[in-house]
Structure 1
Amino acid sequence: MERFVLVFIGILFVLQQSTADRCGSWHGSDHGDHQRYPKDCTDIKDKGVCKSGVYAIQPSTYPEPFYVYCDMDTDGGGWTVFQRRLDGSVGFFRGWSEYREGFGNVNSEFWIGNEKLFYLTAQGSYEMRVDLADFDGETRFAKYEYFRIGDEMNLYKLLLGGFNGTAGDTLSGHNGQAFSTKDSDNDTSDSNCAVAYSGAWWYTACHSSNLNGLYLEGEHDSYANGINWYPWRGHHYSLKTTEMKIRRL
């Protein structure tokens, strides 16, 4: 028995070492006084890094580096996460400037910022994935083969296509729509959808998803103002966790 345990421990050690050998670390490359940063989490994955966590990146034409959370575990890894909800610790009912610059903590709840997201998706072809979970432990996902947003002059207009997944498609109907916040009403409704549904999104008139809505913890009597994804749990159920992430193709 003792010999068996020792052999088993030895196998575990070899496996751990093998994983460590495959998983590199990224610290940038020094060129004189300038450090070259990876331009997204796909870059980091391509360098052999396979551990999810916070890394510094700098998109090709963005003026400075910033920290992002890289998901190296889901669907092959290499995902740059740009939105996360998980516990209601961060309020998402905010104005245009905050959504432009970003807010929250990349280790917890956050929005990366529309300006950063524009520079990221302007670098090439990106796919986008949305991971959702409810309070019963059920999960779903939605994936789009193409995703980018416009610049601020174009109101961070949403451009996407090629849906597949298990959550249902809520975003194709918002394709081509400008981003709206409570103080910048760019939707196609006579009312202000961001105010009506306590969020910020690419609202039309108004939405079939509202992932920046209020954190209402499951079923709620109010209509469509929670973290809703209509095809899965409807407009009266606010999800527990969401992540939106992009990966360069």
Structure 2
Amino acid sequence: MYTYEQVIQRRVNGSVDFNNNWTEYKNGFGFADHEFWIGNDMLYRLTSQKPQELRVDMERFNGEKAYAVYSRFAVGDESSKYKLEVNGYSGNAGDSLDYHNNMKFSTPDEDNDSDSSRSCASKYRSGWWFNSCSHTKPNGQYTDSEKTGYEFVTWKLWKNSWISLKSIKLMICPRD
């Protein structure tokens, strides 16, 4: 059992806009004690020093909670477009990140997804490791009540739905 002391992303009330450009996602934004993105450069530094495990805690508006743990989580440097490596799922939320494994990071002004017909980051107004487009959007649009839609903060494989989440938090810790 690990202690997850390093929070890398948090959404709780929509007070921070996650519809940001490449530079903002690179450097990070928001407030560490509230809603924020730690920054892709920092993610690279943290995950390149030693192997990291990722835990994602989430809650729906009806109070239901779920989690996902990944025994391997790493982010490449900027020259790799912050390529995501994630595997080793366990938990009760469903493995929504598997769809994003080995994807490059995209923002509305930097389209690196695998969908040649559109920019997923522009469509969903957020930065993420979009494939074509996503099975989870922790950085999607926040809504203050339960709604169903692709554009919201979601974790699709939790009950196979696009129901918006009340909160989501991504945390990492070094693995042994």
Instruction: Give the structure-2-normalised TM-score.
Output: 0.94
Question: What residue number does 1:192 align with?
Answer: 119
- 2:173 alignment partner in structure 1: 247
Does the CA-based 8 Å contact 2:86-2:101 persist in structure 1?
A: yes
Q: Which amino acid aligns with 1:201?
A: W
Q: Deviation at 1:78?
A: 4.0
Q: 2 CA distance for matches of 1:183 and 1:113?
A: 16
Query: Relative contact order (C-alpha < 8 Å, sep 6+): which is higher?
Result: 2
Amino acid at match of 2:142: Y
Mapped to 1, the partners of 2:133 and 2:166 lie a distance apart of: 22
2:71 is aligned with 1:145: yes
* Letter matched to residue 193 of structure 1: C
- Please give the residue correspondences for 1:49-198 in structure 2 after superposition, counting only pairs within 5 Å: 76-189=2-115, 190-198=117-125
Scaled by the length of structure 1, what TM-score is found?
0.67
Question: What count of residue pairs does the alignment treat as equivalent?
Answer: 173
Q: SS in structure 1 opposite 2:46? A: helix
For the structure 1 residues 90 and 141, does the alpha-carbon distance in structure 2 shift closer, same or farther, using more than 3 Å as the test?
same
- Amino acid corresponding to residue 125 of structure 2 in structure 1: S
Distance 1:78 1:96 in 2: 27
Q: In structure 2, what is the Cα distance between the partners aligned to 1:208 and 1:123?
A: 28
Q: Distance in 2 between matches of 1:76 and 1:163?
A: 15
1:216, CA displacement in angstroms?
1.4
Matched-pair contact (CA < 8 Å) for 1:217–1:239: no
1:204 aligns with 2:124: no
Q: CA deviation at 1:77?
A: 2.0
Amino acid at match of 1:175: N
d(CA) in 2 for partners of 1:210 and 1:218?
Answer: 16
1:217 aligns with 2:154: no
Separation of aligned partners in 2, 1:78 and 1:133 = 18
**SS of the residue 1:219 aligns to:** coil
Decide whether the 8 Å contact of 1:211 with 1:227 is kept in 2. yes
Pick the structure with greater CA Rg: 1
Question: One-letter code of the match for 1:196?
Answer: K
* Distance verdict in 2 for CA 1:76–1:145, change over 3 Å: closer
Deviating 4+ runs (over 4 angstroms): none
Distance 1:140 1:184 in 2: 31
What one-letter code is carried by the residue in structure 1 that aligns with 2:19? F
User: Structure 1 or 2: larger helix share?
Assistant: 1
1:115, 1:231 → 2: CA distance?
Answer: 28
Q: What SS does the aligned partner of 1:232 have?
A: coil
- Following superposition, the deviation at residue 220 of structure 1 comes to 2.8
